[in-house]
C-alpha cells in the first residue's frame, strides 16, 4: 500500500510518479479504512484494504469474485523513482513488459490476462497522446499517427486530446463499456483500438495475440474470468510484508 502514502518535503512518493498520475479513489480508501479503525483499531492494514477493495470493485462491475488472503502489513516507505523504474509503462512492448512481470514472478499469460483490467476506467491524454502526434513515420518524419492504431479510432481520440500536453481530457480505456468488467477490451485490441502502446503490443507476440483473439470472440468469458482471478491472486502475493516487516497504519496516507 505504498501507493497510498503522501509525498513529504524532500521525498516524492509513489503516488506522484508519472505512471500513477491517473490514479484516483484515494479518498474512498481512506473512508473505508476510517470505518475499519473505528470498528477494530489496528487490525486491518491498508494493504489488505486496497486488495479487498480491488476485488470488490471488480465484482460490483459485474466481474469475477476471488478469495483474498489477508494478513499483509503496510510499508513505511514510498518512492516515486522506484515506481517509475518498476511499474509497467503504458508505452512498453511485450519484451519489456514480460521482463518487468517476470521480476515479480508473473508470466506472459499473467501479462495478457491482467491487461484485461483495462476494461475499467479512463486515462489522461499524456499516457497515450504520443501515439496520435509524435510517432515516427516510414519516411523517418516525426509527428505521424501510430500505424498500429486504427485510423478511425485515432481520429476520434485526436478530437478529445488536442496535444501531447493536454492534461485535462480523459478517454475511456474500453469505449462504451468502461464501467463494466467484461471482455470487450480484447475485442477493441483485436481491432487495433487498444488505447495504449502496451495494449497494441499484445498483437505483436504470438502467445499474447492468440489469447487476445480467443477471448475477443466472446465465447470464452468464463475462461477469462477464471484466468483473471488466478492472476490477481498471484499479483496479490507479490512483495507481501508480514509481521515485523511492516506496520498497520492508522491512516493510509501516512506512516505511524
**140 has a pLDDT exceeding 70:** no
Q: How much is the average pLDDT of 250-256?
A: 95
- DSSP string covering the chain, please? -GGGSPPBTTB--GGGSGGGTT---HHHHHHHHHHHHHHSTTTS-HHHHHHHHHHHHHHHTT----------BB-S---HHHHHHHSPPTT--HHHHHHHHHTTT--HHHHHHHGGGGGS-EEEGGGTTHHHH-B--TTS-SSBPPTTS-HHHHHHHHHH--STT--S-EEESSTT-TTS-SSHHHHHHHTT--SSHHHHGGGGSHHHHHHHHHHHTSS-HHHHHHHHHHHHHHHHTTT-B-GGGSB--SBTTB--
Lowest-confidence region among 137-146, 169-178, 236-245: 137-146
Write out pLDDT tens, residues 177-198. 999 999 999 999 999 999 999 9
Share the mean pLDDT of the chain: 92
Q: What is the pTM of this model?
A: 0.92
Most confident of 104-113, 128-137, 165-174: 104-113
Write out pLDDT tens, residues 40-57. 999 999 999 999 999 999
pLDDT-derived band at 141 (thresholds 50, 70, 90) equals: very low
Q: How long is the chain?
A: 256
Cα gap 160→131, rounded to integer Å:
13
Write out pLDDT tens, residues 77-108. 999 999 888 889 999 999 999 999 999 999 99
pLDDT at 135: 62
pLDDT at 139: 46
pLDDT at 137: 53
Amino acid at each position: 500500500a505504498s501507493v497510498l502514502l503522501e509525498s513529504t518535503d524532500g521525498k516524492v512518493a509513489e503516488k506522484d510518479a508519472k505512471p500513477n498520475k491517473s490514479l484516483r479513489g484515494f479518498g474512498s480508501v481512506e473512508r473505508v479504512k476510517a470505518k475499519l479503525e473505528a470498528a477494530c483499531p489496528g487490525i486491518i492494514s491498508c494493504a489488505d484494504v486496497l486488495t479487498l477493495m480491488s476485488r470488490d470493485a471488480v465484482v460490483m462491475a459485474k466481474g469475477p469474485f476471488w478469495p483474498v488472503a489477508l494478513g499483509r502489513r503496510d510499508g513505511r516507505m514510498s518512492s516515486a523513482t522506484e515506481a517509475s523504474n518498476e511499474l509497467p509503462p503504458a508505452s512498453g512492448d511485450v519484451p519489456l513488459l514480460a521482463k518487468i512481470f517476470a521480476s515479480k514472478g508473473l508470466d506472459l499469460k499473467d501479462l495478457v490476462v491482467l491487461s484485461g483490467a483495462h476494461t475499467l476506467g479512463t486515462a489522461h491524454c499524456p499516457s497515450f497522446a504520443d501515439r496520435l502526434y509524435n510517432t515516427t513515420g516510414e519516411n523517418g518524419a516525426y509527428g505521424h499517427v501510430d500505424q498500429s492504431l486504427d485510423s478511425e479510432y485515432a481520429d476520434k481520440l485526436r478530437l478529445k486530446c488536442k496535444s501531447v500536453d493536454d492534461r485535462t481530457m480523459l478517454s475511456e480505456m474500453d469505449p462504451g463499456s468502461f464501467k463494466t468488467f467484461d471482455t470487450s477490451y480484447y475485442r477493441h485490441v483485436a481491432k487495433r483500438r487498444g488505447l495504449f502502446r502496451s495494449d497494441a503490443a499484445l498483437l505483436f507476440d504470438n502467445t499474447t495475440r492468440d489469447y487476445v483473439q480467443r477471448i475477443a470472440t466472446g465465447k470464452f468469458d468464463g475462461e477469462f474470468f477464471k484466468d483473471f482471478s488466478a492472476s490477481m491472486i498471484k499479483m496479490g502475493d507479490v512483495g507481501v510484508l508480514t509481521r515485523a516487516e511492516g506496520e498497520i497504519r492508522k491512516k493510509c496516507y501516512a506512516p505511524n
